[in-house]
Amino acid sequence: MGGGDVTQEEAALEPRRVKGRFAPSPTGRMHAGNVFSALVAWLVAKSQGGSMVLRIEDLDAERSKPQFIDAVQRDFETLGLTWDEGPYFQHDRTDAYEAAYVRLCERGLVYPCFCTRADLHAASAPHHGEKLVYAGTCRGLTEERRAERAKSRPPASRLMVPDDCIELVDAIQGPYSQNLAFECGDFLIRRSDGAFAYQLAVVVDDAAQGVNSIVRGVDLLCSTPQQMYLQNLLGYPHAEYAHVPLLVAEEGRRLSKRDHDAALDALLARFGSPAGIIGHIAGITGIAPTCDPVMPEELLASFDLNTFAKHLPDKVQIRWH
């Protein structure tokens, strides 16, 4: 056996190495909210001796722009948010998504859905938060009816969900549970144009890339039960989740990619340097005691996820001036 080999006993004793991920969608430059979740993802993994994967989520070919693929990687580098593996690209992973999709179809859990966007809005009340609950309109169609509908419209594919609660304890948000049937409904795993849906792709990728620590914005918390359900069906392990609060603009308005004053160039102009941006975000979110300029590396020694989570408000207001 070579010197670097690890025996089975040693492997069993070794604590599980944390592997986090950055999963940007290349639909725009990084903004303050992305910087915050990326910083926390990096600190969680690196403060425990773990590693980071970079995955470019370019599943949506129409919205993903080549110029942003480069720009977003430069944004991470500029901010000192390093990665150890990747970039992996979702556009290279169609075969893996297809294989998972076929496994779900073979279990009889997938059905074609012909609903238009308008149908969905009309039939999807009540809303659960921002989420539309699918009413199951196409679940019970007969084979004849499906064949007939398919003549005028290519179907999307939905995964049937049971009347079960999926529960998790989020490292920041605490206990969270969702009844899949009542709070989510059968959900899309493939769009009518053939593209695989985010929920399926992200689960297949996280499993294949060995990601076991997922830190992202709280807007994705309500997707986590769907992803955990897919992990159950596909025999993948669950990750540890931490959903960071939203950064809001002064009036409490949610920041988005359309807020140009929150995009990285504007942040650089405002805060003077990458360390200025990181320092500001670390200060207002309680990662650091002050808003003084600092790079991620310098925050490692004092970072502790539990302490950070305990003192974090529901929403963090960004203070531009």
Question: To the nearest whole angstrom, how small is the minimum distance from the Cβ of residue 242 to ligand GLU?
Answer: 11
Question: To the nearest whole angstrom, how small is the minimum distance from the Cβ of residue 215 to ligand GLU?
Answer: 8
Does 278 bind ligand GLU (CB under 6 A)? Our answer is no
Contacts of residue 272, Cβ cutoff 8 Å, sequence gap at least 6 = 293
Does 93 bind ligand GLU (CB under 6 A)? Our answer is no
Binding string, residues 15-54; x marks residues near ligand GLU by CB under 6 A: --------xxx-----------------------------
Instruction: Show the CA angle centred on residue 110, arms to residues 97 and 227, nearest 5°.
Output: 55
CA dist 137 and 266 (Å) reads 46
Question: To the nearest whole angstrom, how small is the minimum distance from the Cβ of residue 102 to ligand GLU?
Answer: 23
Measure Cα distances from 125 to 112, 146, 226 in Å: 21, 24, 19
Does 57 bind ligand GLU (CB under 6 A)? Our answer is yes
Does 100 bind ligand GLU (CB under 6 A)? Our answer is no
Query: Which residue matches tokens 């540890």?
Result: 240
Contacts of residue 314, Cβ cutoff 8 Å, sequence gap at least 6 = 245
Quickly list DSSP for 67-93.
HHHHHHHHHHHHTT---SEEEEEGGG-
Question: To the nearest whole angstrom, how small is the minimum distance from the Cβ of residue 64 to ligand GLU?
Answer: 10
By CB under 6 A, what part of segment 212-241 binds ligand GLU? Answer: 216, 220
Question: To the nearest whole angstrom, how small is the minimum distance from the Cβ of residue 24 to ligand GLU?
Answer: 5
Residue 320 burial (CB < 10 Å; 0-12/13-18/19+)? middle
Does 202 bind ligand GLU (CB under 6 A)? Our answer is yes
115 versus 206: smaller Cβ distance to ligand GLU: 206
Binding residue count for ligand GLU, defined by CB under 6 A: 7
Which stretches of the chain bind ligand GLU, using CB under 6 A? 23-25, 57, 202, 216, 220
